[in-house]
């Protein structure tokens, strides 16, 4: 029996209600209403990728390098993320299937299992860093570690009580919008907006050249924007939401809006921490509480509190979306029910994975003397190193007429997609040559 045959009556009714609302809005010519109804997966995937380690990487970038090369570079990474995520919109809408399911169906069990296991491992490592961010952000307000971790697991577990993808999506989107608090923090530091504007249009040289520290942050900032879990989450969410080929245009707008909003928040984080570089107060230990405390002289107590709240929020939203992406992949490859439109009794494995991976990651954070700060930066670097194969599968599926039909990629989209894959692969090679090999063979390499 296929996955589509297993879809419950409750799940079909939920999607039918959503489709009726969309079709009614289309007939009435209310495009903004249609966009509102269909938006969600793109905004969530982009703001979800502005997660705890991402915001801490941006903060470290601002504190070490200030305003310059990295502002337009981060905008470029979000443009590349849009290129990759646009493909997942078309794949999900054209096939009503998740990313892992398509790989399994088209390339066999081995590659399907490989994709799922690879995602599970990287997702788990990333989830650990999300709980690091939750704990670090909460510590600014004096919230104990156990309480902060428990709250994070509770946010993830909220999906069990909602029984509707729509309700989960809107609740998570509302929480995700708090990512924008980094913008007022940047304003409170009174930056030189002229310098910010010039940095955005001049693309100044890479500070310090290709040394180990700069290249590591370069990869961390790429990994803060482009990661494999995003492909699995957005395609699964598009399928769960019930988008069809008719909705691809709105899906693109949803993704573009998400990329724009997330980029503004990322730039706000860099600008907010730039005064630490100007005053030689590098707080590059990747600890949110230390960053927030260091900002008190420049942003005030309220600004510093907003910064800590933003890191806390980033960890909460990402822990929810990344857990869902793991549960989607598990259900897709193993042929089990995998939808937030189902209650737990109809999809026990899906919800067990969703909550279980988050609970395990939370438990790791509570281990005494676990090297959490080191894991934070490594996760974004690993995300970059594992992205080229994911881009490869994405491009193959997007050009397979038996999979995507008339929605396959155009020549321009293929050029852009291949360009993103080559850029990410090149970044990994540069990292290997400037960081990994010298560390293994010494400075004479």
The pLDDT value recorded for residue 399 is 92
Q: Interior CA angle at 172 toward 228 and 129, to 5°?
A: 50
Which SS3 state, helix, strand or coil, does residue 326 take? helix
Tell me the C-alpha distance between 121 and 127, whole Å: 10
The owner of tokens 């189902």 is 342
How many CA atoms within 13 Å lie on the side-chain side of 59? 32
How big is the chain, counted in residues?
445
Tell me the C-alpha distance between 290 and 252, whole Å: 38
> CA quadruple 366, 56, 417, 173: dihedral positive or negative?
positive
Tell me the C-alpha distance between 119 and 92, whole Å: 18
Asked if 388 contacts 345 with a C-beta cutoff of 8 angstroms, the reply is no
> Helix-strand-coil percent breakdown of the chain, rounded to 5?
80, 0, 20
The pLDDT value recorded for residue 287 is 52
Note the pTM of the prediction, 2 decimals.
Answer: 0.87
Task: Tokens for 337, please give them.
Answer: 């029910």
> CA quadruple 319, 322, 325, 329: dihedral positive or negative?
negative
Tell me the C-alpha distance between 155 and 414, whole Å: 38
pLDDT one digit per residue (tens) for the chain, 445 residues: 444 444 456 667 777 777 888 888 888 888 899 999 898 899 999 988 888 878 888 888 888 888 888 899 999 999 999 999 999 999 999 998 888 888 888 888 888 777 777 788 888 888 888 898 888 888 888 889 899 999 999 988 887 777 788 888 888 888 888 889 999 999 999 988 888 888 888 877 777 666 777 777 787 788 778 888 888 889 988 988 888 889 999 999 999 999 999 999 999 999 999 888 876 665 544 455 578 888 888 888 898 899 999 989 888 988 988 898 888 888 887 778 778 888 888 888 889 998 999 999 999 888 887 666 566 666 766 777 777 888 888 899 999 988 888 998 889 999 998 998 888 888 877 777 776 566 555 554 4
The owner of tokens 């500070």 is 207
User: In angstroms, how far is CA 228 from the centroid of its own chain?
Assistant: 9
Asked if 246 contacts 77 with a C-beta cutoff of 8 angstroms, the reply is no
Q: Interior CA angle at 284 toward 279 and 287, to 5°?
A: 120
Which SS3 state, helix, strand or coil, does residue 366 take? coil
CATH number of 9-441: 1.20.1740.10
Tell me the C-alpha distance between 86 and 79, whole Å: 11
Tell me the C-alpha distance between 193 and 165, whole Å: 41
DSSP string, 179-212: GGGHHHHHHHT---HHHHHHHHHH-PPPTT-S-H
Tell me the C-alpha distance between 331 and 414, whole Å: 29
Domain ranges of the chain: 9-441
Asked if 339 contacts 240 with a C-beta cutoff of 8 angstroms, the reply is yes
Tell me the C-alpha distance between 336 and 420, whole Å: 33
In this structure, the dihedral spanned by the alpha carbons of residues 91, 93, 95 and 98, taken in order and rounded to 10 degrees, is 70
341-355 burial: b if 16+ Cβ within 10 Å, else e: bbbbebbebbbebbb
Asked if 435 contacts 216 with a C-beta cutoff of 8 angstroms, the reply is yes
Asked if 263 contacts 82 with a C-beta cutoff of 8 angstroms, the reply is no
136: left (phi over 0), alpha (psi -120 to 50) or beta: alpha
Integer CA distances (angstroms), 442 to 209, 267, 374, 390, 439, in order: 19, 36, 21, 32, 6
The pLDDT value recorded for residue 1 is 44
Tell me the C-alpha distance between 96 and 244, whole Å: 7
Integer CA distances (angstroms), 162 to 156, 170, 192, in order: 11, 11, 45
Tell me the C-alpha distance between 117 and 100, whole Å: 10
The pLDDT value recorded for residue 102 is 87
φ/ψ (deg, to 5) at 79: -65, -40
Tell me the C-alpha distance between 273 and 170, whole Å: 31
């Amino acid at each position: 029996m296929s996955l589509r045959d297993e879809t419950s009556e409750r799940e079909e009714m939920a999607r039918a209600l959503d489709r009726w609302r969309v079709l009614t809005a289309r007939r009435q010519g209310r495009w903004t209403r249609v966009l509102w109804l269909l938006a969600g997966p793109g905004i969530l995937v982009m703001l979800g990728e502005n997660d705890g380690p991402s915001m801490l990487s941006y903060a470290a970038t601002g504190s070490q390098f200030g305003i310059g090369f990295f502002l337009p570079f981060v905008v470029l990474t979000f443009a590349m993320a849009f290129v990759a995520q646009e493909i997942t919109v078309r794949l999900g809408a054209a096939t009503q299937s998740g990313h892992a399911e398509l790989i399994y169906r088209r390339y066999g069990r081995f590659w399907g299992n490989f994709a799922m296991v690879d995602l599970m491992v990287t997702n788990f490592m990333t989830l650990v860093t999300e709980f690091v961010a939750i704990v670090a952000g909460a510590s600014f307000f004096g919230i104990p570690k156990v309480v902060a971790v428990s709250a994070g697991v509770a946010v993830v577990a909220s999906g069990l009580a909602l029984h509707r993808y729509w309700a989960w999506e809107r609740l998570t989107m509302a929480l995700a919008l708090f990512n924008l608090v980094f913008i007022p923090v940047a304003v409170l530091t009174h930056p030189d907006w002229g310098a910010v504007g010039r940095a955005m249009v001049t693309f100044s040289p890479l500070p310090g050249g290709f040394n180990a520290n700069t290249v590591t942050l370069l990869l961390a900032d790429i990994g803060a924007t482009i990661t494999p879990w995003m492909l699995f989450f957005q395609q699964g969410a598009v399928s769960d939401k019930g988008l069809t080929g008719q909705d691809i245009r709105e899906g693109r707008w949803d993704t573009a809006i998400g990329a724009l909003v997330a980029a503004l928040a990322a730039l706000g984080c860099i600008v907010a921490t730039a005064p630490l570089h100007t005053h030689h107060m590098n707080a590059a230990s990747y600890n949110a509480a230390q960053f927030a405390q260091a900002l008190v002289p420049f942003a005030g107590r309220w600004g510093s509190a907003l910064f800590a709240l933003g890191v806390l929020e980033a960890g909460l939203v990402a822990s929810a979306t990344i857990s869902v992406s793991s549960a989607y992949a598990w259900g897709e490859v193993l042929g089990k029910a995998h939808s937030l439109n189902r209650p737990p009794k109809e999809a026990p494995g899906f919800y067990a994975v969703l909550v279980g991976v988050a609970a395990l990651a939370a438990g790791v954070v509570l281990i005494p003397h676990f090297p959490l700060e080191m894991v934070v930066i490594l996760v974004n670097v690993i995300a970059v190193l594992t992205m080229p194969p994911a881009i490869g599968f994405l491009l193959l599926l997007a050009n397979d007429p038996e999979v995507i039909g008339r929605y396959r990629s155009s020549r321009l989209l293929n050029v852009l997609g291949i360009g993103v894959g080559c850029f990410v692969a090149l970044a990994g090679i540069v990292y290997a040559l400037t960081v990994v090999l010298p560390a293994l063979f010494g400075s004479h390499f």
